[in-house]
Amino acid sequence: MKAKQKSNESLQRLRRRIRAASELVMNIFFFLCGILAIGCVALISVYMILSGIPAIREIGLGEFLLGKVWASTASEPKFGILPFILTSIYGTVGATLIGVPIGLMTAVFLAKIAPRRLADKIRPAVDLLAGIPSVVYGLIGVSVLVPFIAAVFDLPKGTSLFAAILVLSVMILPSIISVSETALSAVPPEYEEASLALGATQIETIFKVSIPAAKSGIAAGVVLGIGRAIGEAMAVMMVAGNVANMPSLFGSVTFLTTAISKEMSYSSGLQRQALFSIALVLFLFIMLINVLLNILLKKNAKGGR
C-alpha cells in the first residue's frame, strides 16, 4: 500500500511539474507573440520615418505639406501634396458620415431587433461584402456608379470625389457592422431588462443603454472602417479620376494612396523619396486617429464613473 501511495504521489508531482512547465512555455509563447506585434509596429514606424524624412528635408516641410501643385515628372518638379491631403480627408469624412450611421443601424437591427432566422441570413451577406476584393468594388463603380453620376448631375464624366465617397461608404460597412454587432451582443441583458422594467421602450433602451454600454466596441469598428477608407487605393483609383486637383465634390481628384500607387512603378530619385514621404503622412494620419479616439474613450470612461 505504501509503495502504491508513493507511486501515486510521485505521479501527481510529475503531472504538476508537466503542467507548470506547459504553462511556462505557453506564457513565454504569448509573450513572444506580443513582443513580435510590438516589434512589427516599431520596425514599420522606423522604416517609414527613415524613408520619408529625406524628401521632406530636401523639399521643405511647408512646401511639401502646403504646396498645391504636384508635378513630379516636370522639368522643374514640384511636390506639393495639399490636394492629396484634403482629398483624403474629405473622402474619409464623407464615407464616415454615410457609412457609420448605416453600419451602426444595421448592427442594431441584427443584434437587437431582427428575428434570429432573418439575422442568420443577413450576416453571411455582410461577411460576403467584406470578402469582395477592392478591385471588384472599383469595377462596379466604374461600370455602374460613374455613368450614373454623370447622367444624373449632367457631368462630362462621373469620375469624381463623390463617386469615391460612395464606393468607400459601402466598403467600410462590413467592418463597422461586424464589430458593432459583436459589441452590442456582449452587453449584459440585465442592463436592458432594468431599463425596460423602468418603463423605457425598446428603442429608448437601445439608444440610451445598449449603444452607450457598447461604445468601446462600436468605436473600434469605426476606427477599422476609417482605416480602410484612408488606406484604400485600388477602388478609389478607378473611380476618382486620378488628377492632382484641389478637391471638389464632382471633380477628378487624387487620394494619398492613389498618388503613391500610380507613380511608384516608374519613380526614381527624389520622386520616389517623395512617395515614401506621402506614405509617412498617411501613416501618421492613421496613428493620429487611433490616439485621438483612445483619448476620447478614456475621457468618456472617466466621465461615466
Q: What is the CATH number of the domain that holds 251?
A: 1.10.3720.10
Q: How far apart (Å, rounded) are the C-alpha atoms in residues 185 and 205?
A: 14
Beta carbons within 8 Å of 47's beta carbon, 6+ residues apart: none
Q: For residue 8, what are the domain limits?
A: 2-59
DSSP structural state of residue 73: T
Q: What mean pLDDT value characterizes the chain? A: 87
Tell me, yes or no, whether 85 and 52 share the same domain: no
CB contact set of 156 (below 8 Å; sequence gap of 6+)? 150
Residue type at 278 in one-letter notation: I
Say if CB 102 and CB 88 are below 8 A apart: no
* Cα distance between residue 193 and residue 266, in whole Å: 62
For residue 187, which amino acid is it?
V
pLDDT 10s digits, 168-226? 999 999 989 999 999 998 888 888 888 888 888 888 898 888 988 888 888 888 888 88
Say what the pTM is: 0.84
Domain total for the chain? Answer: 2
Query: Are 201 and 253 found together in one domain?
Result: yes
User: What integer is the mean pLDDT of 68-79?
Assistant: 86
> Do 9 and 85 have their domain in common?
no
Q: Are residues 230 and 198 in the same domain?
A: yes
Q: Are residues 276 and 168 in the same domain?
A: yes
Q: Quick check: 169 and 95 in contact, CB under 8 A?
A: yes
Q: 167 with 46, same domain?
A: no
85 in the same domain as 32? no
